[in-house]
Amino acid sequence: MGHPFPLREIARQAGLSEATVDRVLNGRGGVRESTAQEVHRAIADLDRQRTQVRLVGRTFMVDIVVQAPERFSTAVRAALEAELPSLHPAVVRSRFHFRETGPAAEQVRTLDRIARRGSQGVILKAPDVPEVTAAVGRLTAAGIPVVTLVTDLPASGRLAYVGIDNRAAGATAAYLVGQWLGDRPGHVLTSLSSGFFRNEEEREMGFRGVMRARHPERTLVEIAEGQGLDATQYDLVRAALERDPQIRAVYSIGGGNNATLRAFADLGRDCSVFVAHDLDHDNTRLLREHRLSAVLHHDLRHDLREACHEVMRHHGALPPAGAVRPSAIQVVTPYNMPTTQAG
């Protein structure tokens, strides 16, 4: 395939040897299909980042490791690549490691592989489990700073956390749901993708605390482990609706909102209030269609810019700064949607 990039640059981007990349590009065989795909992805990444690569300055290779549904990972990639030209004085190059779900051991293997081959920094969205915490410790011991994105690993020795105050976000959702339901009866469904992501746990705690204080008469019905994926989310929501005919509002903490709405529709049930998180491509469409009441959004471009700045500060490319402040929580309705969203 035609491309303007030196073999060494492609190998560095892919995290593979030059010999392996050469075999893939020249069709010599002896390479697994998954490895060949990594080479082609690396070339595509380099092509998207070509404008930024030409900037003068120190070059940092940063690994983006994210466990999330495809819609969120796509938004992360788009937000970072949109920010790359502004990241002076350094040049930041990125390698992406995305997966939707799976055992923690798979993510640990990815982090350990990065530790062995080297990196200037890791931006990480991962479940808060001991295995991942230990892997972050190994990265730190290898001199590789880790910045957690959207969800934190506070016991891991990470360099910084970038994202919103998740407890405040949950409290905001409770305020909105309580106001919009008003005096109407009805139970509220709270939906988590997994109990192992700290951000979702904190959102749920913030939501539950405000609902208990302001609306103690409301029953909260919790479902979890849908992984934010439509196939699993649908079954969980439908089962909850069949068990409880009083559910008429949703606080979606972990996504899978297409499936949630489909479950309501298939049972002929009304969802009076639906508050969700993140203006990914699914939620943007659902909000425009007035099928969501509001989305609690934060600027992913800002978060990824801050994460890269933290890596650059760690290496002395930027002057020290204070602790990273939480991102602003934006309440987005169909009537105040941003003109553009990452992803």
pLDDT by position in tens, the chain (length 343): 566 788 888 888 888 898 999 889 888 888 888 899 989 988 888 877 665 444 345 789 999 999 998 989 999 999 999 998 888 667 788 999 999 988 899 999 999 999 999 999 999 999 999 999 999 999 999 999 999 999 999 999 999 999 999 999 999 999 999 999 999 999 999 999 988 999 999 999 999 999 999 999 999 999 999 898 888 999 999 999 999 999 999 999 999 999 999 999 999 999 999 999 999 899 999 999 999 999 999 999 999 999 999 999 898 888 888 888 999 999 999 999 987 544 3
Q: What is the CATH number of domain 59-163+300-326?
A: 3.40.50.2300
Contact 119, 92 (CB under 8 A): no
Indicate the DSSP class of residue 97: E
Question: Same topology for domains 7-55 and 59-163+300-326, yes or no?
Answer: no
- What is the pLDDT, as a whole number, of residue 53? 47
Contact 105, 288 (CB under 8 A): no
Rounded Cα distance between 158 and 155, Å, is 8
| 118 Cα distance to chain centroid | 23
- What is the pLDDT, as a whole number, of residue 320? 83
Q: What is the CATH number of domain 166-297?
A: 3.40.50.2300
- What is the pLDDT, as a whole number, of residue 2? 60
Please list, in sequence order, all residues whose beta carbon lies within 8 angstroms of the beta carbon of residue 2, skipping any fewer than 6 positions away.
none
Give the angle 241-177-217 at the CA atoms, nearest 5°: 75
- What is the pLDDT, as a whole number, of residue 9? 83
- What is the pLDDT, as a whole number, of residue 85? 82
Q: Domain segments of the chain: what residues?
A: 7-55, 59-163+300-326, 166-297
- What is the pLDDT, as a whole number, of residue 340? 58
Per-residue b or e along 119-150, where b marks 16 or more CB atoms closer than 10 Å to that residue's CB = bbbbbbbbbbbeebbebbbbbbeeebbbbbbb
- What is the pLDDT, as a whole number, of residue 342? 42
Q: 7-55: what fold? A: 434 Repressor (Amino-terminal Domain) (1.10.260)
Rounded Cα distance between 8 and 18, Å, is 6
- What is the pLDDT, as a whole number, of residue 13? 84
Whole-model pTM? 0.81
Contact 169, 210 (CB under 8 A): no
Rounded Cα distance between 239 and 158, Å, is 39
Token digits of residue 27:
């069709």
- What is the pLDDT, as a whole number, of residue 57? 58
